[in-house]
Amino acid sequence: MEGRTPVGWDLPPHIARVPSDVPYQPALMRALKESRALRRCLGDAARSGAPYDLVHTGHLPTPTRLPVPYTLTVHDLRSLDFRGVSLARRAVGRRALGSAIARARRVLCVSDAVRARIVEEFPSAASRLDLIGNGEDHLSLLPRTPSTSPFMLHVGHVEPRKNLALIIEAMSRYPALPRLVLAGASKGDAAARLLAVAEHRGLAGKIEMLGPVADEELARLYSTAACAVFPSVLEGFGIGPAEALRAGCPVAASAIPAHLEVSGDGATFFSPADPDDFARAVMECVAVSAISRPPGNEHRWEDCAGRWFEALMRASLDAPG
């Protein structure tokens, strides 16, 4: 089911697009309209003699009063653990997540880190959790040809939990650090605020914001960067470090569980609270032109899709509760 903004990529002909007027934001309006649109879609399908067995969703709040069970993918646990929002918002987020997990037939977790945290917070859900993960083999592999003008590459949204201010602080302390290139969309005015901080530190000329980039350009960036940097304070799955390591690009990553899980065999880690430690990790990476991951460590989308299908089949066959 598509929202008010249709899916922006081609789909195979056997996948039906069901239009709706569900907006992406605000979240409460999305949840209200999404539940109504889903119930209407499910009712139409049942009356046509081709009923659906299951609904899958990947965001909060989850739909309510559905006539069929649903499964939920939990991508990260910012609603529990991101200290960048108020205690009140985290409390609301915890209640929404707890309710969604309690009502879901099965919960699909993108990493062991996410699964372990859910079990810690909601022990009764342990028997309904499936580990799926993400793939990293969607990008072309190009030969490593580091740029003659070295740069650090960050891939991901520009937003507070990515902890990009740490890089600016480190660059102000260590002028020898390479320039910074950011590939990814800004959430709200986060990019403007980051640039203002950089300008205040006299670093605006060493920051380049590319916005969203195509896969072909992303592959080229990984092949030419001196290193890829990921200072996040919270992630569900470290897809950026995984992509970079597969491309042979040295990685400096914050020592958070999701990063340690996917990149423990090739990254240099640092404390996400310590700009000096970040600078140390980057300089270690810059001294290495390329890295090689051990065979068999690649996360393949085909394998992920197989596990996802198996989880959905279990959900459709499980008895309620």
Question: Is residue 240 included in any domain, yes or no?
Answer: yes
Average pLDDT over residues 282-296: 82
> Pick from 24, 107, 100: which is nearest to 64 by CA?
100
Question: Is the domain of 226 the same as that of 312?
Answer: no
For 202: left if phi > 0, alpha if psi spans -120 to 50, otherwise beta; the answer is: left
Kindly report the CATH number assigned to the domain that includes residue 222.
Answer: 3.40.50.2000
pLDDT at 321: 47
Cβ neighbours around 59 below 10 Å, total: 15
Average pLDDT over residues 21-48: 92
Report whether 74 contacts 110 (CB < 8 A).
yes
Question: Is residue 161 included in any domain, yes or no?
Answer: yes
Domain ranges, residue 229: 151-286
pLDDT band of 119, cuts 50, 70, 90 = very high
Determine phi and psi for 2, rounding to 5 degrees.
-85, 150
Question: Is residue 159 included in any domain, yes or no?
Answer: yes
pLDDT, tens digit, 9 for 90 and up, residues 5-16:
888 888 999 999
Q: DSSP states of 72-123 as a string?
A: EEE---HHHH-TTS-HHHHHHHHHHHHHHHHH-SEEEESSHHHHHHHHHH-G
Average pLDDT over residues 155-174: 97
Question: Is residue 5 included in any domain, yes or no?
Answer: no
pLDDT, tens digit, 9 for 90 and up, residues 174-214:
999 999 999 999 999 999 999 999 999 999 899 999 999 99
Question: Is the domain of 198 the same as that of 111?
Answer: no
What's the CA gap between 156 and 183, in Å, rounded? 6
- Quote the number of domains for the chain: 2
Question: Is the domain of 309 the same as that of 274?
Answer: no
Per 3-state DSSP, the chain is made up of helix, strand and coil in percentages (nearest 5) of 45, 15, 45
Question: Is residue 72 included in any domain, yes or no?
Answer: yes
Average pLDDT over residues 229-255: 95
Question: Is the domain of 233 the same as that of 201?
Answer: yes
Question: Is the domain of 221 the same as that of 164?
Answer: yes
Question: Is the domain of 69 the same as that of 125?
Answer: yes
pLDDT at 97: 94
Question: Is the domain of 77 the same as that of 198?
Answer: no
Query: Tokens at residue 62, please?
Result: 């989850």
> Pick from 317, 306, 272, 300: which is nearest to 161 by CA?
272
**Non-local CB neighbours of 153 within 8 Å, separated by 6+ positions:** 181, 183, 221, 222, 225, 227, 228, 229, 244, 249
Question: Is the domain of 310 the same as that of 214?
Answer: no
**Non-local CB neighbours of 300 within 8 Å, separated by 6+ positions:** 135, 136, 137
Question: Is the domain of 189 the same as that of 95?
Answer: no
Question: Is the domain of 198 the same as that of 265?
Answer: yes
Query: Tokens at residue 107, please?
Result: 């919960």
Question: Is residue 94 included in any domain, yes or no?
Answer: yes
User: Minimum mean pLDDT among 32-46, 81-95, 163-177, 266-280: which range?
Assistant: 81-95
Question: Is the domain of 102 the same as that of 189?
Answer: no
Question: Is residue 111 included in any domain, yes or no?
Answer: yes
What's the CA gap between 241 and 277, in Å, rounded? 18
pLDDT, tens digit, 9 for 90 and up, residues 251-267:
999 999 999 998 766 79
Question: Is residue 24 included in any domain, yes or no?
Answer: no
User: Considering the chain, what percentage of its residues have pLDDT values greater than 90?
Assistant: 81
Amino acid at residue number 20: S
Averaged pLDDT score across all residues of the chain: 93
pLDDT, tens digit, 9 for 90 and up, residues 85-112:
788 888 888 999 999 999 999 999 999 9
Question: Is the domain of 174 the same as that of 121?
Answer: no
> Pick from 210, 73, 183: which is nearest to 129 by CA?
73
